[in-house]
């Protein structure tokens, strides 16, 4: 999987057609680098997300594509055309803004018709396409309201319709659901996903919500400190994080800092800071692992098994005591303090009838392939 | 709109112009009316001046900007021991009349009305008769000013200055030079928008009447109408009606001619030798400005001190030399240097004045007629 | 026992008055002072002016005895219609030029100029307000007169001189200049609140800068524009310093005419009051428009 994914990035570039490309793009604000040398290729028809914590440069990246910012260095291409000299109003992209930026002095109808009228479409064509867009977002009955008279979710739909009605090559979404409450957000995620399939456009979405990115996207770029940490499908990002940041940022994980003691093409032997000896899966099999190099081991909580006795022949098996339990409804999170002093979080289905007390010896174990060695 | 200075009638003497003062009077007049309206159902427009006591060390005078300067005030203070002289600047006689009649003048102990305004103030019962036993040097005033039509025998007023109304012009620009009022109508091309008339109904109407051979004070409605029509004809060529604003423009050469009071003209001629002052052949108005004591008067002793100070020949002569106006005080005149005594613009010989007349007060019906034509003229 | 009885007696009237007093006391305390102020200094004087306007030809010292609408009848003469028309012309013209000159300035300060300079720039624009309006008018005389600063400059670059002083253009120039700081302040307040994302949204939808300006910036700042325009309109309708000093012989405006009736050469307070009522009516009309527009901007 991981091999296919990484190769795709290069190979697909030429055949499937790219809608958006960023080549070594830098952006500096007041001597601070917001974006530091980003390379990005977004395929036609893809739902692509840029995910990262606030201040990571993801919104700047989107604004570079939209044209509201010009790169300090590097090049932005849309459908193989360099966009560096093209102002926002001539780019074949439309944006759904964070908190929508609807024109408060226009009705819903006029908001949606805004782009079409600028393009000197005939009256009948405007009429037809606005109607169509209203239908697409299920807002037909609100056509003559003003934005202030709509709820957040309704404004969101109008913003979507206003952008989509122009049939852009690429639709840019800047934290589109960020202002909505949880339930509405879930609903809109579903609708956004359906919409993407219906219109078949390239969507580029910026979000800090990993769940939103995971559930909607074909591929995700995880950004941190103005750089891309990893690009891949939600599964690759989750199962095969390539950096400790990605592993930590996406979902929950247990991280151990350690030193490589020895290696085998498919295995690494690592000793952690507190002296635990673990067998781990190298990041990319085939590549020579960094001997005596520093690595970070990542083990997902749901991959750890808990038992009352040490399992036979299991490599990564450590004794500990139950320290804390958190109920999460369908699951429980157990924190186990190992004899070394390290704590691991373990996720268990909420089926355990009775939990052991704090003095019962417990054994946490995980498979080699679930213990990922990430280079620092 | 400019922020109104609340009490600009107390503005110091340095303030030359009067716009701010006028506006505030409007406001304060409305206040006075308000006070009255609250106390009576049927009320009188204007009313008793609300005189509040002022210390004998303070004297407030309401005068024209050209009649006081710092030196005069300093000399007065040094002589009399009055420590503070507050000077309110007069924009026009009408402004003062409106203020005094509306009960606004309560703080003033000295006013400087022109001759015809004295009559009106007397009629409105706003002046104190002068106690001649308290005056020193009244006998120095020339006889013709002691027996004026406005105040025979100086019962209420003492003349401080006299002069004529005429035309000041730039002799380099105007050839042939003007000799009479009719010049304005004779050279429309040369003069168009290059001259100003006084912003004074009686002077402008009177001069026009005079140019047609009528009296400066005509009471004949038909004559007044003719004068109005003659002025309508001239109107497109008049740059402005102004009493003051012509001075800089005349010096700069933007204006060629201005209707002006002799006192202003003589002052300006000191600055520019090209300027000449003309007393029109067909006659003009002879005016005098006077000093009076209003009724009531917050500081009567101070007021008499002021009158006696101004009556001193040396003070009057000094003022004439410094501020360039004609003194009616014979003793002061005798002290003047010869060039000033012989200045015919300042002290025109009687021969030049035979056709001139003083501006006579009008009854209400005549005032109404003048008002109507003047308003129509300036509004069109 | 003896302690309980008074306490219950005390609490009851307390609760009673707690309910009662806010009903009228609150509004009275809040509105009373300004109401008194407005009543004494605006409503009553206006009524007195109205009463005066019903006395034909009243002069200071006369008995106020309202007797009819004669003063209003006087206004129905072509010459006064011309005066009212001229006042409206100056007011509209000033509003137009002040907007035309003020908007780009306010726009630049609010949206383009570096943030840290904004207050300083605004201050520098408001600075002329610290000088007397009379002084500013005299300055314009110096600039506009036939051999003044402007014409000297024009002569220098070979352009024939302009005869502006003592004509309408000088009045419009002087009044627009006087009004500029006000309109810049009002427009700045409005533009500064402008949501820049709306400008980006418009550009994103294909609007070039000019289209963004007309279709988004202007409509979005419309309440500010209307408020600023009315402020200028009303103020310039009442201005008489500039028309008097810069306008020459044929620049009589309503405000000047009123002034002349009260303390000028022609002292007819009745007629002046009638003219004042007309001016108050015109200004009220403008304010009514402001309220109407204000309401609409609230819906949007």
Which residues in chain B are contacts of C262 at CB distance < 8 A? 25-26, 29, 98
Q: C203 and A166: CB-CB below 8 Å?
A: no
Mean pLDDT of chain A: 87
Closest Cα in chain C to A166? C205
Which residues in chain A are contacts of C216 at CB distance < 8 A? 103
Closest Cα in chain C to B237? C249
C193 touches chain B (CB under 8 A): no
**A3 falls in which pLDDT band (50, 70, 90)?**
very low
Q: How far is CA A287 from the centre of its chain?
A: 27
Q: A97 and C208: CB-CB below 8 Å?
A: no
- Tell me what pLDDT residue A291 has: 53
Q: pLDDT, tens digit, for every residue of C147-158?
A: 888 999 999 998
Q: Which residue among B2, B23, B46 sits closest to C61, beta carbon to beta carbon?
A: B46
CB A296 within 8 A of CB A255: yes
B57 touches chain C (CB under 8 A): no
Is pLDDT at B9 greater than 90 in this prediction?
no
Q: Which of B123, B371, B372 to mutate to test the interface with C (most CBs of C within 10 A)?
A: B371
**B35 falls in which pLDDT band (50, 70, 90)?**
very low
Q: C239 and B99: CB-CB below 8 Å?
A: no
Q: What is the largest CA-CA distance in chain C?
A: 105
Q: A94 and C202: CB-CB below 8 Å?
A: no
**B39 contacts: CB under 8 Å, gap ≥ 6:** none
**Range of lowest pLDDT (A315-329, B7-21, B60-74, B221-235):** B7-21
Residues paired with residue A38 on neighbouring β-strands, in sequence order: A25
Q: pLDDT, tens digit, for every residue of C167-212?
A: 999 999 999 999 999 999 999 999 999 998 999 999 999 999 999 9
Q: Which of B14, B20, B21, B33 to mutate to test the interface with C (most CBs of C within 10 A)?
A: B33
In this prediction, residues B200-229 reach a mean pLDDT of 94
Is pLDDT at C266 greater than 90 in this prediction?
no
Q: Which of A62, A87, A88 to mutate to test the interface with C (most CBs of C within 10 A)?
A: A88
More confident residue, A182 or B129: B129
More confident residue, A358 or C221: C221
- Which positions in chain C have a beta carbon within 8 angstroms of at least one beta carbon in chain A? 195, 197-198, 200-208, 211, 215-216, 219-220, 222, 299-300
Q: Which residue among B20, B45, B371 sits closest to C64, beta carbon to beta carbon?
A: B45
Domain ranges of chain C: 70-129+179-293
Burial zone of A257 (CB within 10 Å; 0-12 exposed, 13-18 middle, 19+ buried):
middle
Neighbouring chains of C at 3+ CB pairs under 8 Å are: A, B
Q: pLDDT, tens digit, for every residue of B108-135?
A: 999 999 988 898 899 888 999 999 999 9
- Tell me what pLDDT residue A353 has: 66
Where are any strands of DSSP class E within B32-122?
58-63, 84-89, 110-111
| Pairwise CA distance, residues C288 & C196, whole Å | 31
| Pairwise CA distance, residues A217 & C217, whole Å | 36
CB A179 within 8 A of CB A99: yes
- Tell me what pLDDT residue C24 has: 80
In this prediction, residues A258-285 reach a mean pLDDT of 82
Is pLDDT at C3 greater than 50 in this prediction?
no
Is pLDDT at C58 greater than 50 in this prediction?
yes
Per CATH, the architecture of C70-129+179-293 is what?
Orthogonal Bundle (1.10)
Q: Is the dihedral of CA A207, A209, A212, A213 positive or negative?
A: positive
Is pLDDT at B73 greater than 60 in this prediction?
yes
Q: C63 and B20: CB-CB below 8 Å?
A: no
Q: A103 and C201: CB-CB below 8 Å?
A: yes
A94 touches chain C (CB under 8 A): yes
With touching defined as 3 or more inter-chain CB pairs under 8 Å, the answer for chains A and B is no
User: How far is the alpha carbon of A251 from chain C, nearest alpha carbon, in Å?
Assistant: 33
A111 touches chain C (CB under 8 A): no
Q: How far is CA A3 from the centre of its chain?
A: 19
* Torsion from C-alpha of A20, A24, A25, A27, nearest 10 degrees: 170
Q: Cis link prior to B188 (omega < 30° from 0)?
A: no
What are B273's two structure tokens? 């030798």
- Give, to the nearest 10 degrees, the angle between helix C168-192 and helix C118-126: 150
Per CATH, the architecture of B165-285+352-379 is what?
3-Layer(aba) Sandwich (3.40)
- Tell me what pLDDT residue A36 has: 93
- Tell me what pLDDT residue C185 has: 92
**A368 falls in which pLDDT band (50, 70, 90)?**
confident
Which residues in chain C are contacts of B241 at CB distance < 8 A? 249
ipTM entry: 0.81
Q: Which residue among C44, C262, C266 sits closest to B374, beta carbon to beta carbon?
A: C266
C234 touches chain B (CB under 8 A): no
A66 touches chain C (CB under 8 A): yes
Q: C250 and B30: CB-CB below 8 Å?
A: no
DSSP A310: P
In this prediction, residues B78-107 reach a mean pLDDT of 83
- Tell me what pLDDT residue C61 has: 67
**CA-to-CA dists, residue B187 to B190, B230, B232, B283, angstroms:** 5, 14, 16, 20
Closest Cα in chain C to B96? C263
| Pairwise CA distance, residues A73 & A162, whole Å | 32
Domain ranges of chain B: 27-162+287-350, 165-285+352-379
| Pairwise CA distance, residues B165 & B201, whole Å | 13
- Tell me what pLDDT residue A290 has: 56
- Tell me what pLDDT residue A281 has: 83
3-state helix, strand, coil in chain A (%, to 5): 30, 35, 35
Extract long-range pairs of C205-209: CB within 8 Å, 24+ residues apart.
C205/A89, C205/A94, C205/A114, C205/A115, C205/A118, C205/A162, C205/A163, C205/A166, C206/A89, C206/A90, C206/A115, C206/A118, C206/A119, C206/A166, C207/A89, C207/A114, C207/A118, C208/A87, C208/A89
**Range of lowest pLDDT (B30-39, B115-124, B181-190):** B30-39
**A6 contacts: CB under 8 Å, gap ≥ 6:** A232
Q: pLDDT, tens digit, for every residue of B274-326?
A: 999 999 999 999 999 999 999 888 899 999 999 999 999 999 999 998 888 89
- Tell me what pLDDT residue C21 has: 63
Q: Which residue among C49, C82, C259 sits closest to B379, beta carbon to beta carbon?
A: C82
Same topology for domains B27-162+287-350 and B165-285+352-379, yes or no?
Answer: yes
- Tell me what pLDDT residue C71 has: 86
- Tell me what pLDDT residue A2 has: 40
Is pLDDT at B89 greater than 90 in this prediction?
no
Q: C252 and B94: CB-CB below 8 Å?
A: no
Closest Cα in chain B to C55? B45
How would DSSP label each residue in B194-224? Answer: SEEE-S-HHHHHHHHHHHTTS-TT---HHHH
Buried residues in A121-150 as b, exposed as e (16+ CB within 10 A): beeeebeebbeebbebbebeebbeebbeeb
- Give, to the nearest 10 degrees, the angle between helix B300-311 and helix B313-323: 70
Residue A30, helix vs strand vs coil: coil
Percentage with pLDDT > 70 across chain B: 86
- Tell me what pLDDT residue B42 has: 52
User: How far is the alpha carbon of B306 from chain C, nearest alpha carbon, in Å?
Assistant: 27
Neighbouring chains of A at 3+ CB pairs under 8 Å are: C
Query: What's the first-to-final CA gap in chain B, in angstroms?
Result: 24
Mean pLDDT of chain B: 84
CB B279 within 8 A of CB B294: no
Burial zone of A242 (CB within 10 Å; 0-12 exposed, 13-18 middle, 19+ buried):
buried
Q: Which CATH superfamily is domain B27-162+287-350 in?
A: Periplasmic binding protein-like II (3.40.190.10)
Q: Within 13 A of A231's CA, how many CA atoms are on the CB side?
A: 19
Q: C205 and A101: CB-CB below 8 Å?
A: no
- Tell me what pLDDT residue B53 has: 47
Interface of C with B in 131-150 (CB under 8 A): 132-134, 138, 141-142, 145-148
Q: Which residue among C201, C206, C207 sits closest to A101, beta carbon to beta carbon?
A: C201
Residues paired with residue A170 on neighbouring β-strands, in sequence order: A93, A202
- Tell me what pLDDT residue C262 has: 83
Q: pLDDT, tens digit, for every residue of A292-327?
A: 578 889 999 999 988 888 877 778 889 899 888 888
B41 touches chain C (CB under 8 A): no
Spell out the alpha helix ranges (H) of chain A. Answer: 2-15, 58-66, 108-118, 123-136, 152-164, 182-199, 210-216, 234-239, 244-249
- Tell me what pLDDT residue C19 has: 53
Q: pLDDT, tens digit, for every residue of A196-223?
A: 998 889 999 999 988 899 999 999 999 9
Which residues in chain C are contacts of B90 at CB distance < 8 A? none
| Pairwise CA distance, residues A175 & A51, whole Å | 10
């Amino acid at each position: 999987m991981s091999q296919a994914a990484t190769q795709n990035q290069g190979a697909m570039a030429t055949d499937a057609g790219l809608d958006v490309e960023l080549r070594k793009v830098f952006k500096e604000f007041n001597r601070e680098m917001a974006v530091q040398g980003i390379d990005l290729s977004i395929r036609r028809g893809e739902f692509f997300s840029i995910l990262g914590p606030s201040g990571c440069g993801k919104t700047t990246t989107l604004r570079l594509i939209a044209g509201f910012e010009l790169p300090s260095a590097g090049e932005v291409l849309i459908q193989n055309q360099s966009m560096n000299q093209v102002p926002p109003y001539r780019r074949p992209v439309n944006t759904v803004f964070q908190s929508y930026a609807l024109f408060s002095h226009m009705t819903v109808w006029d908001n949606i018709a805004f782009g079409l009228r600028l393009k000197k479409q005939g009256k009948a064509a405007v009429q037809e396409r606005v109607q169509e867009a209203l239908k697409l977002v299920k807002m037909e009955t609100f056509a003559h309201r003003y934005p202030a008279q709509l709820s957040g979710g309704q404004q969101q739909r109008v913003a979507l319709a206003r952008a989509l009605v122009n049939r852009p090559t690429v639709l840019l979404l800047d934290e589109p659901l960020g202002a909505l409450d949880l339930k509405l957000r879930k609903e809109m995620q579903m609708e956004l996903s359906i919409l993407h399939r219906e219109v078949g456009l390239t969507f580029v979405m910026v979000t800090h919500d990993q769940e939103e990115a995971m559930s909607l996207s074909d591929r995700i770029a995880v950004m941190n400190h103005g750089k891309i940490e990893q690009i891949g499908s939600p599964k690759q990002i989750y199962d095969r994080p390539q950096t400790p940041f990605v592993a930590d940022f996406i979902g929950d994980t247990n991280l151990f800092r350690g030193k490589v003691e020895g290696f085998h093409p498919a295995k690494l032997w690592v000793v952690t800071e507190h002296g635990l000896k673990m067998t781990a899966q190298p990041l990319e099999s085939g590549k020579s692992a960094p001997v005596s190099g520093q690595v970070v081991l990542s083990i997902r909580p749901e991959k750890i098994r808990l038992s009352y006795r040490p399992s036979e022949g299991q490599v990564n098996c450590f004794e500990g005591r139950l320290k804390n339990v958190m109920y999460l409804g369908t699951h429980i999170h157990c924190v186990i303090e190992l004899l070394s002093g390290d704590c691991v979080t373990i996720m268990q289905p909420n089926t355990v009838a009775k939990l052991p007390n704090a003095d019962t010896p417990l054994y946490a174990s995980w498979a080699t392939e679930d213990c990922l060695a990430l280079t620092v | 709109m400019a922020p109104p200075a609340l009490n600009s009638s107390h503005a110091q003497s340095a303030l030359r112009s009067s716009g701010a003062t006028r506006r505030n009077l409007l406001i304060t007049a409305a206040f006075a009316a308000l006070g009255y309206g609250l106390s009576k159902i049927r009320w009188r427009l204007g009313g008793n001046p609300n005189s509040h006591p002022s210390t004998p060390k303070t004297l407030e005078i309401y005068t024209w900007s050209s009649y006081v300067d710092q030196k005069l005030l300093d000399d007065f203070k040094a002589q009399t021991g009055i420590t503070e002289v507050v000077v309110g600047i007069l924009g026009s006689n009408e402004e003062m009349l409106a203020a005094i009649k509306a009960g606004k003048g309560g703080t003033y102990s000295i006013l400087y009305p022109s001759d015809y305004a004295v009559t009106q103030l007397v009629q409105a019962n706003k002046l104190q008769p002068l106690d001649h036993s308290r005056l020193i040097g009244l006998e120095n005033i020339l006889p013709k000013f002691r027996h004026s039509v406005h105040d025979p025998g100086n019962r209420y007023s003492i003349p401080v200055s006299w002069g004529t109304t005429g035309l000041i012009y730039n002799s380099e620009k105007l050839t042939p030079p003007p000799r009479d009022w009719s010049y304005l109508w004779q050279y429309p091309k040369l003069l168009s928008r290059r001259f100003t008339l006084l912003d004074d109904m009686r002077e402008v109407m009177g001069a026009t009447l005079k140019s047609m051979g009528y009296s400066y004070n005509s009471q004949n409605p038909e004559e007044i109408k003719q004068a109005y029509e003659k002025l309508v004809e001239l109107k497109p060529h008049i740059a402005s009606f102004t009493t003051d604003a012509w001075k800089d423009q005349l010096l700069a050469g933007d204006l060629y001619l201005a209707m002006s009071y002799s006192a202003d003209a003589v002052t300006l001629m000191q600055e520019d030798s090209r300027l000449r002052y003309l007393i029109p052949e067909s006659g003009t108005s002879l005016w005098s400005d006077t000093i009076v004591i209003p009724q009531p008067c917050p500081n009567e002793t101070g007021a008499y001190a002021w009158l006696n100070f101004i009556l001193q020949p040396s003070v009057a002569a000094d003022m004439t030399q410094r501020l360039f106006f004609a003194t009616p005080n014979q003793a002061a005149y005798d002290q003047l240097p010869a060039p000033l005594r012989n200045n015919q613009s300042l002290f025109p010989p009687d021969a030049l004045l035979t056709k001139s007349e003083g501006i006579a007060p009008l009854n209400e019906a005549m005032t109404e007629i003048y008002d109507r034509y003047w308003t129509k003229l300036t509004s069109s | 026992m003896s302690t309980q009885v008074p306490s219950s007696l005390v609490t009851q009237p307390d609760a009673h008055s707690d309910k009662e007093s806010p009903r009228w006391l609150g509004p009275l305390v809040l509105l009373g002072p300004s109401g008194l102020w407005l009543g004494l200094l605006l409503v009553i004087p206006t009524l007195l002016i109205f009463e005066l306007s019903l006395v034909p030809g009243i002069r200071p010292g006369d008995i106020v005895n309202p007797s009819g609408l004669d003063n209003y009848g006087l206004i129905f003469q072509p010459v006064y219609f011309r005066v009212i028309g001229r006042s409206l012309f100056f007011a509209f013209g000033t509003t137009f030029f002040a907007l035309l000159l003020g908007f780009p300035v306010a726009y630049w300060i609010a949206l383009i100029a570096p943030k840290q300079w904004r207050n300083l720039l605004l201050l520098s624009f408001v600075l002329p307000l610290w000088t007397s309006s009379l002084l500013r008018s005299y300055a314009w005389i110096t600039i506009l007169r036939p051999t003044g600063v402007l014409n000297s400059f024009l002569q220098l670059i070979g352009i024939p001189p302009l005869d502006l002083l003592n004509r309408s253009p000088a009045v419009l120039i002087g009044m627009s200049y006087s009004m500029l700081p006000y309109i810049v302040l009002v427009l700045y307040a409005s533009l500064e609140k402008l949501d820049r994302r709306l400008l980006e949204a418009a550009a994103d939808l294909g609007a070039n800068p000019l289209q963004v300006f007309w279709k988004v910036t202007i409509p979005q700042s419309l309440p500010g524009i209307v408020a600023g325009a009315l402020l200028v309109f009303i103020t310039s309708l009442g201005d008489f310093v500039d028309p008097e000093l810069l306008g020459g012989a044929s620049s009589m405006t309503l405000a000047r005419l009123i002034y002349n009736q009260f303390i000028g050469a022609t002292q007819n307070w009745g007629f002046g009051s009638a003219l004042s009522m007309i001016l108050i009516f015109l200004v009220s009309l403008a304010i009514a428009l402001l309220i109407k527009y204000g309401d609409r901007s609230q819906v949007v």
